[in-house]
Amino acid sequence: MKTLVVLSILVAVASAKILSRCDMVRIVKDSRLSKFTQYSVADWVCLTDHVSQYNTREVGRDVRDGRRWASEYGIFQISSKWWCDDGETPGAVNGCGKRCTDFLGDDLEPDIECAAKIVSERGMEAWSAWVENCKDKWIAYYTYFCY
């Protein structure tokens, strides 16, 4: 059984899709994320660059006090502590009502749906990477030559 789990993880990692910056611009521009007029397409592209480097199957681990606190999934690095269920995170809320693995495929609709919920409830400040790397910074170059 362990061999099957390890093999499944290796296949998922080996087949991870890395989008280009311009792919991400087009995806955001054509999605409901562009309806949040207080944030630009460049804000979303900057965020995904810093959290996942446009990798649709990125999984990040957040360890606090030497123990696993939460994991983050997909291109937007959606947290298992607040927004999805990974079956492992203690005290998880699952605000998007999704399994965390739903954010690891090449179909970005679940990711976009949850990211829209996050930003409508908490703003992009919900992502510390956006606050640190994108907020109030000149980020227009993220969309250059992509339209």
Domains of the chain: 16-143 (1.10.530.10)
Bridge partners of 71, per DSSP, are 61
Distance CA 144, CA 124 (A): 22
Does the pTM of the predicted model rise above 0.75?
yes
pLDDT, tens only, 57-87: 999 987 665 666 789 999 999 999 999 999 9
Give the residue with greater pLDDT, 14 vs 82: 82
| Residue 98 dihedral angles phi and psi, to the nearest 5° | -125, 160
Question: Alpha-carbon distance 140 to 40, whole Å?
Answer: 9
pLDDT digits (tens, 9 = 90+) for 109-131: 999 999 999 999 999 999 999 99
